């Protein structure tokens, strides 16, 4: 029988950044399946992934009146909705801090980096998070923003940096250490969706190393989050996937660091965003925010709050 990783209620609460009471309520309503081991409730990783994926398909716009846009929506209390894109848990903490600094309501979109940037171009997102590697310049994010946000004035500001690389089974039994190892016949990859930062990193590294995706077993097998990729490896369905150190540790995998990726935020520079951009900068540079991020572990905050690029 294939082994399946499972979580306690407390672990799920930590992953979702909610209270244990909220998790128990979700279990009671049947929104997340569970089972008992003795007196302890357990949640299978696949069931948790299905719950998260279901929530990702529910755009924050659906909580707003149908005739109004999700972006820049001002509700009856005068609160402005801020749509923040991306998947890292740090963004949930950021949203909480932004709400504490003004009359704002943080809404979340879980699209990948490229789709989020395209949504910003179409005026559908307020704050976009990016971790897109460009193999021609060895630079993160700026080359992509310059190509996509044509005609806009914008600011790119650092959120955090983090290690990206291979998530592998405990003990790394296949000795996977570098990008060319993916071409070995006995190695099964689990990939991310097109447009995600992890997928872009993989595609750029294959291009740089003159490797063909058609030679990689499992290249077309897709999961839509770092945690889902990690769970697939842990259960034995795959041998390796591109992801973050944090996701590997959560699931109990080994991690092979290959690059430090800069995880940045982008905002459009205009009159209606002046206040929130100033608040965002203040939050990112605040001791309280940095302390909370540092407590999570596996994040580099040495550049947090720094302006990476700003159009003149």
- Quote the CA–CA distance of 33 and 21 in Å, as a whole number: 16
The DSSP element (H or E) to which 192 belongs, if any, is: strand 191-192
pLDDT band at 312 (very low <50, low <70, confident <90, very high): confident
Q: Is the pLDDT of residue 68 over 50?
A: no
pLDDT band at 73 (very low <50, low <70, confident <90, very high): low
pLDDT band at 45 (very low <50, low <70, confident <90, very high): confident
- Tell me the whole-structure pTM to 2 decimals: 0.77
Q: Are 219 and 189 in contact (CB under 8 A)?
A: yes
Spatial neighbors of 116 by CB under 8 A, at least 6 apart, are: 85, 86, 109, 125, 128, 129, 130
pLDDT band at 59 (very low <50, low <70, confident <90, very high): very low
**Could you give the percent of the chain with pLDDT greater than 90?**
65
- Quote the CA–CA distance of 246 and 222 in Å, as a whole number: 20
Q: Report how far apart, in Å, the C-alpha atoms of 306 and of each of 46, 89, 130, 298 are.
A: 38, 20, 15, 19
pLDDT band at 96 (very low <50, low <70, confident <90, very high): very high
- The angle, 0 to 180 degrees and rounded to 10, between the axes of the packed helices 274-284 and 90-99 is 120
- 77 vs 78, higher pLDDT: 78
Structure tokens given for 245: 């150190």
**What average pLDDT does this structure show over 21-29?**
73
Supply the DSSP symbol for 79. Answer: P
Q: Give pLDDT, residue 76.
A: 56
Q: Is the pLDDT of residue 294 over 80?
A: yes
Q: Give pLDDT, residue 23.
A: 78
Spatial neighbors of 132 by CB under 8 A, at least 6 apart, are: 113, 114, 140, 141, 144, 197, 200, 201
Q: Give pLDDT, residue 64.
A: 33
CB atoms within 10 A of CB 130: 27
Q: Is the pLDDT of residue 2 over 70?
A: no
**What average pLDDT does this structure show over 38-48?**
80
User: Shortest CA distance to 114 belongs to which of 195, 192, 194?
Assistant: 195
- Quote the CA–CA distance of 312 and 8 in Å, as a whole number: 50
**What average pLDDT does this structure show over 278-284?**
97
Q: Give pLDDT, residue 63.
A: 33
Q: Is the pLDDT of residue 86 over 80?
A: yes
């Amino acid at each position: 029988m294939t082994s399946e990783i499972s979580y306690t209620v407390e672990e799920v609460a930590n992953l979702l950044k909610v209270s244990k009471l909220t998790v128990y309520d979700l279990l009671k309503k049947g929104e997340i399946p569970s089972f008992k081991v003795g007196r302890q409730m357990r949640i299978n990783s696949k069931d948790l992934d299905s719950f998260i994926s279901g929530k990702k398909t529910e755009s924050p716009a659906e909580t707003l009146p149908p005739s109004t846009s999700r972006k820049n929506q001002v509700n009856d209390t005068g609160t402005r909705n801020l749509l923040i894109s991306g998947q890292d848990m740090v963004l949930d903490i950021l949203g909480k801090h932004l709400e504490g600094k003004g009359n704002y309501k943080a809404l979340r979109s879980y699209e990948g980096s490229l789709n989020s940037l395209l949504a910003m171009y179409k005026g559908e997102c307020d704050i976009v998070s990016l971790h897109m590697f460009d193999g021609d310049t060895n630079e993160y994010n700026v080359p992509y923003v310059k190509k996509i946000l044509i005609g806009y004035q914008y600011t790119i500001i650092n959120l955090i940096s983090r290690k990206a690389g291979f998530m592998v089974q405990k003990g790394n039994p296949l000795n996977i250490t570098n990008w060319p190892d993916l071409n070995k016949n006995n190695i099964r990859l689990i990939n991310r969706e097109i447009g995600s930062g992890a997928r872009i990193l993989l595609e750029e590294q294959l291009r740089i190393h003159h490797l063909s995706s058609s030679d990689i077993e499992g290249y077309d097998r897709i999961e839509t989050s770092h945690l889902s990729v990690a769970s697939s490896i842990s259960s034995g369905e795959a041998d390796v996937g591109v992801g973050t150190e944090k996701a590997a540790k959560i699931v109990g995998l080994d991690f092979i660091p290959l690059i430090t990726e800069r995880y940045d935020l982008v905002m459009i520079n205009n009159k209606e965003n002046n206040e929130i951009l100033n608040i965002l900068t203040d939050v990112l540079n605040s001791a309280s925010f940095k302390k909370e991020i540092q407590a999570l572990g596996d994040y580099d905050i040495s550049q947090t709050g720094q302006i990476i690029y700003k159009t003149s």
